[in-house]
């Protein structure tokens, strides 16, 4: 679904806190903005300097994001990362996207987490996943071939906007 629902902040009947703060109806500590994207401090940071990069328009999950908006979000993230490292004094970072409920998304307005990390901070993205086993190479090869073939036939997801 390609569904910006700005400026009401309501998608599928649900209220959106990020739309509220983008239109100035809720408190926000902003560190970057342009015409497409804003970045602000996570209200419950893993560590000081935890930033969310967010499109101004309301898109719920990764598949809804037009390619140009997604590319721009990553460009902004790439510019912010060394600055956050410098300001927070934390050189290590997790760049996290939770897209969809099963992936742990809580706010259904797509966003990228930039999370400065410190040794012993207690946060974890446990990969490799301790609950999984290593499949044999045939299974990995078969999945790689399926993805490669599907990619050649794929239209490329949500197109860039003109
Ligand atoms: P996610 O689970 O990926 O959807 O992450 C949602 C993030 O949004 C969490 O890290 C929250 O702490 C953060 N968050 C929720 N409400 C606000 C808010 N009003 N201002 C800033 N960050 C928020
Ligand atoms: Zn929203």
pLDDT at position 5 = 44
Q: Provide the whole-model pTM.
A: 0.91
pLDDT at position 11 = 47
Q: Atom of ligand 1 at shortest distance to CA of 42?
A: 22
| Cβ of residue 42 lying under 6 Å from some atom of ligand 1 | yes
Q: What is the mean pLDDT of the chain?
A: 91
Active site residue 50: no
pLDDT at position 103 = 98
- Among the ranges given (12-16, 33-37, 145-149), the one the predictor scored with the smallest mean pLDDT: 12-16
Strands (E), the chain: 10-11, 14-15, 30-33, 37-41, 51-55, 92-96, 112-117
Per-residue confidence at 64, pLDDT binned at 50, 70, 90?
very high
What structural domains and CATH numbers belong to the chain?
10-125 (3.30.428.10)
């Amino acid at each position: 679904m390609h569904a910006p629902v700005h400026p009401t902040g309501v998608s599928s009947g649900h209220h959106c806190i990020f739309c509220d703060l983008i239109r100035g109806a809720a408190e926000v500590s902003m560190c970057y903005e342009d015409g497409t994207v804003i970045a602000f401090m996570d209200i419950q940071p893993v560590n000081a300097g935890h930033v969310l990069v967010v499109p101004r328009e309301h898109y719920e999950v990764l598949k809804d994001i037009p390619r140009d908006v997604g590319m721009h979000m990553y460009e902004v993230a790439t510019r912010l990362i060394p600055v956050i490292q410098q300001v927070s004094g934390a050189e290590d970072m997790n760049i996290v996207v939770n897209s969809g409920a099963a992936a742990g998304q809580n706010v259904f307005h797509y966003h990228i987490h930039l999370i400065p990390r410190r040794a012993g901070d207690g946060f974890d993205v446990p990969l490799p996943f301790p609950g999984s086993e290593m499949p044999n190479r045939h299974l990995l090869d078969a999945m790689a071939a399926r993805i490669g073939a599907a990619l050649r036939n794929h239209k490329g997801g949500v197109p860039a906007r003109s």
